[in-house]
Amino acid sequence: MNVAREPYGVLHADPSPIKDVYGGDAGFVFVECMRIRPADVESKTVIIFSHPIGGGSFLPLVNTLAADGVHVIYCNPRYRGNDTALIMEKCVLDLGACIKDAKKRFGYEKVLLGGWSGGGSLSMFYQDQAEQPSIRETPAGDPADLVAAKLEPADGVLLLAAHLSRSVTLTEWIDPSIRDEAKPFDRDPELNLYDKTNPNQPAYDAAFLDTYRAAQIARNRRITAWVKETLAELKADPEAAPERAFCVHGTMADPRFLDASLDPSDREVGVCYLGDPKVVNDGPVGLARFATLRSWLSQWSYDDSRADGEGNASRVTCPVIVVNNTADLACTPSHAQRLFDAVSHDDKEIHQILGADHYYIQHREKAAIAVSLIKDWMTRKSFA
């Protein structure tokens, strides 16, 4: 089936006092979108994918869906390709603008949210606030009125190779051997997974894991405490710059990367989705490597981020389908199961695609299996 691609943009107002994206007119945000659809098949239903930093309009899953007759829109929020200053509440506003525009511009009557990877928690955050709006500002206290936005609820949510949230994922991956953010390479050898002198080696025992996980949460909270203290100082000084950027070292040190017995799956051990985790741990493209005070609170803080996959999922009322890829290097089975379990109603289902990787790149044929599951679910729920 021939696939047509249609790039377009959605411009919507943004009253934020601080501009957190490069370029463009103050007071407005441009949301870059791509409609991918079968060239000769009309539909009143569309799956709208979105991810906090976008960039997925050419994913094998997206292409395969369109080639198999499904209309898809990929919505890139304002932070396309750069999460340095990303605010999750603003991603929700961008997705909301895209949904409203899709219904008006193309006449779609039913909208499903495609929550792939980090888009899973964004989709759940959006749906939670669309069904039960409550947020009027960011965790830093800046305006982001999700109540006044009158977000239109989606008809269903697909959680595809999704993790719980950016904040939980970072905390599960962060390197707790860093004791002082000002001295990031002075590390506790007994908590450093990549120190060969560390007496704790895979398979890790339960006592070490309990200590390690507690230290990860403690490090996240130390950064959060510093962020809040610094933000308060800046707000108290009228002459101070309103924001500050900083670097976070050591963010790819999950014991699951090295121990196959933890959260067991078909994944390859000793690697992460970005390559060698020891290299990525301090490389330039790790999670949260570069951040701002406000962004940390909104997307990375273990306690403050409202994009909380489990919490959001517990409040949504629409149908939900969860698809887990068993060879996924980024999102392990426990995340899929926890998202599924968090949905508090019975109109939900979970599926496993054996041997499928995160992107369906190593085994492209697995994308067709995912599409088959999705289309069957859409038909049974009268979305097709």
Cα 122 to Cα 36, 159, 305, 336: the distances in Å are 21, 10, 11, 15
Give the pLDDT score at 384. 86
The C-alpha atoms of residue 107 and residue 94 are separated, in whole angstroms, by 19
Give the pLDDT score at 26. 77
Specify the CATH number for 3-165+305-380; select among 3.30.380.10, 3.30.750.200, 3.40.50.1820, 3.50.50.60. Answer: 3.40.50.1820
- Model pTM? 0.97
Neighbour order of strands in the sheet with 3-13: 3-13, 28-38, 72-76, 45-50, 110-116, 156-160, 320-325, 348-353
- pLDDT, tens digit (0-9, with 9 covering 90-100), for 288-325: 999 999 999 999 999 999 999 999 999 999 999 999 99
Give the pLDDT score at 21. 83
- pLDDT, tens digit (0-9, with 9 covering 90-100), for 38-78: 998 999 999 999 999 999 999 999 999 999 999 999 999 99
Residue 272 banded pLDDT, cuts 50, 70, 90: very high
The C-alpha atoms of residue 219 and residue 223 are separated, in whole angstroms, by 6
- pLDDT, tens digit (0-9, with 9 covering 90-100), for 169-222: 999 999 999 999 999 999 999 999 999 999 999 999 999 999 999 999 999 999
Place of tokens 């044929």: 365
Residue 268 banded pLDDT, cuts 50, 70, 90: very high
- Say whether pLDDT at 16 is over 90: no
- Say whether pLDDT at 334 is over 90: yes
C-alpha 221: how far from its chain's center?
20
Average pLDDT of the segment spanning 327-335: 96
- pLDDT, tens digit (0-9, with 9 covering 90-100), for 79-131: 999 999 999 999 999 999 999 999 999 999 999 999 999 999 999 999 999 99
Q: Are the C-beta atoms of residues 311 and 338 closer than 8 Å to each other? A: no
Q: Are the C-beta atoms of residues 135 and 64 closer than 8 Å to each other? A: no
Give the pLDDT score at 20. 82
Domain locations along the chain: 3-165+305-380, 169-300
Q: Which residue has the higher pLDDT, 298 or 23?
A: 298
- pLDDT, tens digit (0-9, with 9 covering 90-100), for 129-165: 999 999 999 999 999 999 999 999 999 999 999 999 9
